[in-house]
Chain A
Amino acid sequence: MTTTPIRSGSQSAASASYPDAHGRFGKFGGKYVPETLMPALAELEAAFHQYKNDPAFQQELQALLRDYVGRPSPLYFAERLTAHYARPDGTGPQIYLKREDLNHTGAHKINNALAQVLLAKRMGKQRIIAETGAGQHGVATATVCARFGLKCIIYMGVHDMERQALNVFRMRLMGAEVSPVEAGTGTLKDATSEAIRDWVTNVETTHYILGSVAGPHPYPMLVRDFQAIIGQETRAQCLEKWGGLPDILLACVGGGSNAMGLFHEFVNEPSVRMIGIEAAGEGIDTEKHAATLTRGRVGVLHGAMSYLLQDEEGQVIEPHSISAGLDYPGVGPEHSYLKDSGRAEYYSITDQQALTAFQQLSQLEGIIPALETAHAIAYLETLCPQLNGSPRIVINCSGRGDKDVQTVAKFLNPG
């Protein structure tokens, strides 16, 4: 089968023209799925291209993003956090938070879930499935399904259901069926596999709202483009606040959707440094971490070629992170591409460092971040002392931490 590659007309937009027509970001990406799903992926891609610039679709999406989600999310100057990292002479990095935690349902996940449900409606799909780790994507999907009266089944690992019990309750409250997944370690990887199995079985009636920039093409592109509003708003807000670009973007990376959402707008701005933070769990030299880009090798999981935590036999390793949303052995293929091309940098933060940052942001700014987000915040400890002058750092405050308070309480006060 031959298809004509879709290329951006603009020379300067070279990177933004990825993926190619085969869903490739360099060697990463692709569609490694059972044949049964191939027509559905083609249908989804066609619908995406048909509607992404369709005025009626955009009008409906933009109105809901404004009135239902509460966009634009503010770009907040974190004054006391900035003061905390100031040098003795008062200079230092200026730290801003892109407040995705203020969105309806408390995280960036709703941007994508809402847009995909509008696509699903136009494709005539009445049944929606999704996977969830921390539960934020599950909650966002349950929310938009309630809003549009669609049947909703959320696959969630049993271990995650325990540590994110509040989100399980929220999803059920909104009428979603939460289906426990016991396979493997009962976390995001296993929930994703089970969602794919459901989709293979019910593909003719069902749309799968994949929650990250992972999975087979077109998901990494589609989710990125639906999350790109984060970066687009950030650009406008930076322009308004100081008339320029941010110097550094900082975001946590599990599958990588909040990071891609922030980065995408700036990929072709060489002056903007992009940093993604993975979960180091108990340390990247232990077996208990989820630092895929730091420690993984190229492999195929859930339909895409990307970095992957795997053993010498090519079996996928069970990851570990205190944060359910980062507890994933794979990563979106575009992040692998950005890493290999050197355009973005990726580092990792341990459970312990994230917990410290979780408390720090709560105490300095009165903002309780999600444990996922706390990983990005925690990297300031390493980053700030390395910086000269007063660069402007924008951190994607991707979610709020209400869902995590029990986990953190258990950790801080064991027994």
Chain B
Amino acid sequence: MTSVSQRFEALRERAHCALIPFITAGDPDLETTAEALRVLDRSGADLIELGVPYSDPLADGPVIQAAATRALQRGVRLADVLEVVRQVSPELRSPIILFTYYNPILNRGIDLFLKQVSEAGVKGLVVPDLPLEEAESLLHPAFDYGIELTLLIAPTSPADRIATIARQSQGFIYLVSTTGVTGMRAQVQARVKDLLVELQTVTDKPIGVGFGISQPEHARQVMDWGADAAIVGSAFVKRLADGTPAQGLDAIAEFCRSLKAAIAPI
């Protein structure tokens, strides 16, 4: 199956900017999560980020917090999330990137966690509360299991950190577009453009921009500024949670297509 890096290489050859939707696993329920993965995959997603619900998601804004809380209240566990991945991922073109906080990883034991997620078919990992200094414990073992651990860069990261993080990050580099938590915002901060330029001087790894990207124009904007991927989370989570599961699935399909259209090569 395709790795995150391989997926980006293929897209790059065709000069495509990738679309990475994010959904919270288990919201509104696991069946809908499974179906949402299929729907996103055929509606223009190139990779998919799947959020593991956590009790204290301190990098997340209200939309994803609420989705995680609902999922936990329904009793969704990591094993259930991985079972969905195991069942659905063979049908997908999009590699699945698991977005999880560090404590559930630590709790399970790093090796066991990596073994289980890799067996389920997960290809990448994003851990929002694991900065470079603490990532050592996960980077090398992840590599051994064929899991790419993507590190994050923020608008506040100084130049020397940016270079080091870019060097260590696997799969791609996750550029956080704003100082803040996940969530929808009216526009993309202009400094993202400068950050992309700065990053491109130190790395040729793909760069995905996320946090606050919630409209087709935003995706288009970051693509025009040179991003290799637009990552869209809360806007998908909100649409999927509104109305019945069927309505939610229709809504994310349409939204995914509109995002993809905005970043399709001319």
Contact = CB atoms under 8 A, between A and B. Distances in A.
B180 A201 contact: yes
A203 B132 contact: no
Given A35-B152, A299-B107, A314-B106, A1 B160 contact: yes
B77 interface: yes
Given A34-B128, A35-B154, A300-B129, A201 B179 contact: yes
Contact of B72 (A203, A305, A315): A315
A197 B128 CA distance: 13
Contacts of A30: 133-134
Interface string B110-153: 00000000000000000011111110000000000000000111
B129 A315 contact: no
B34 interface: no
B120 to A, nearest CB: 16
A298 B105 CA distance: 12
A193 B156 CA distance: 20
Given A35-B176, A300-B103, A315 B55 contact: yes
Nearest to A317: B55
B255 interface: no
A183 B70 CA distance: 12
A64 interface: no
B63 interface: no
A315 to B, nearest CB: 4
A347 interface: no
Contact of B180 (A32, A200, A298, A314): A200
A302 interface: yes
**Which one of A22, A38, A183, A297 has the highest number of Cβ atoms from chain B below 10 Å of its Cβ?**
A38
B131 A34 contact: yes
B65 A183 contact: yes
Q: Is the interface of A mostly helix, strand, loop or mixed?
A: mixed
Interface residues of A, number: 39
Contact of B59 (A34, A310, A312): A34
B189 interface: no
A300 B102 CA distance: 7
Given A36-B176, A316-B55, A300 B132 contact: no
A34 B72 contact: no
Contact of B156 (A22, A36, A298): A36
Which 8 pairs between the two chains have the least Cβ-Cβ distance?
A314-B107, A314-B104, A36-B154, A201-B180, A315-B55, A35-B154, A316-B55, A35-B152
29 contacts: A1-B132, A30-B133, A31-B131, A31-B134, A32-B131, A33-B129, A34-B59, A34-B154, A35-B165, A36-B154, A36-B156, A36-B179, A38-B132, A38-B156, A39-B161, A189-B56, A196-B58, A200-B179, A200-B181, A201-B180, A203-B156, A298-B106, A299-B103, A310-B107, A313-B78, A314-B105, A314-B106, A315-B54, A315-B104
Given A197-B58, A313-B107, 15 more contacts: A1-B161, A30-B134, A33-B58, A34-B131, A35-B152, A36-B156, A37-B156, A39-B161, A183-B65, A197-B181, A201-B179, A201-B180, A303-B129, A305-B106, A314-B107
Interface of B: 54-56, 58-59, 61, 65, 69, 72, 77-78, 102-108, 128-134, 151-158, 160-161, 164-165, 176, 179-181
